[in-house]
Structure 1
Amino acid sequence: MTGYQTIIFDIGNVIVRWSPEEIIRLTLGDAGDAHAHANQIFQSDIWQALNRGTLTEAQAKQRFADDTALSPAQLETLSAAHTEREKLKSQSKPMFYGNKLYPSARHLLLANPDLVAGGDLGKAVTSLNDKARRAKNQGEVRNLSLDRVGAEYDLAKIGFADEFDGFVAQLVELVGEVALTELFYELKLRTLLS
């Protein structure tokens, strides 16, 4: 191979999924304006310098700490999200809300922060999982975990959030969309308020 001096790879939304607002919601649990926070971070000169390699990660964290209201813990969380894929627990139980299937109660609530209404995310996740367990015990839904679905329908195990949509697409091919509501709990507004 001669004549090539540089090869450029287009990473964002080509090789890996890039959704700044989702990164903000999933890593910071921000119930505020995710769009504004995403712009503040990912459109900043600091982020651009980090991407160009003219700032180290440590330097970028320090500049973000100096220039934004982000806490050291939030910066660390954001840094981890920037460098690692989000892992899913094999015992996660997918849930429906608003005609969308989420990998877990936590993912559902982070994507819909108005459902938590400024409350404690951990307690809201526990409450939602309890509602799903009661629905299972009453025979309304099977409330299967990712591992159980994989075993029952001979699907490959998934371990990361970015594999979830493909997993669901394979499941839909096997059982159809309607059958998904029998497998997984569906949060309805009236359920949340009770």
Structure 2
Amino acid sequence: MTEPPAERGAYHHGALRAALTEAALDMLDEGGLARVTVREVARRVGVSPGAPFRHFADRQALLTAVAERVLADFGDWQRAAVAGTDHSAFYAFGLAFVRYAATYPHRFELLRSAVYGRELPEALRPGMAQVGDLATELIVAGQRAGELRPGDPDMVRLAAHALVYGLSQMIVDGFLPAENAERLVEGALTIFGQGIKGTSD
């Protein structure tokens, strides 16, 4: 049985892997994780149903590659937000986290399943490390500039991460109304930045 022309000549080296990953990302944006199937990804790219398995052992491996691509995009999104803000860089970083989830809820769904589990896939470790390093860098810079209170940067990062993750989930789930989400997020981040402990102690 001969392969389709597109499969014989159009893809070589890493081009087919990249095309499959991009098609899977498009399907994810369109309908969420349940929409992404290896067979449909192959059909969209124009190759045989078995061709993707030359690059991905199974559907989960394909989704991990998509998550890797999403993490890179997510990191670029946050760096752009920090570079273009007139506000505190750490505040902009947190707000960008929530905005990304609200803009791409299905990508957030994928990251939630791929990243926030018991074991982080090896392929996703570099992307997560870059995002984490950027957050720590912004915390330390903010503390040195007097924008953030002194404290263990790792604990500040953990607390902030929990806040923006929870807010993102509440928006994606529809618990926070979309039309008021940004205002509510800005308020929550401002309260977090100010601290909630009173001065009576």
Q: Is the TM-score greater than 0.5?
A: no
Whose helix fraction is larger, Structure 1's or Structure 2's? 2
User: TM-score when scaled to structure 2?
Assistant: 0.30
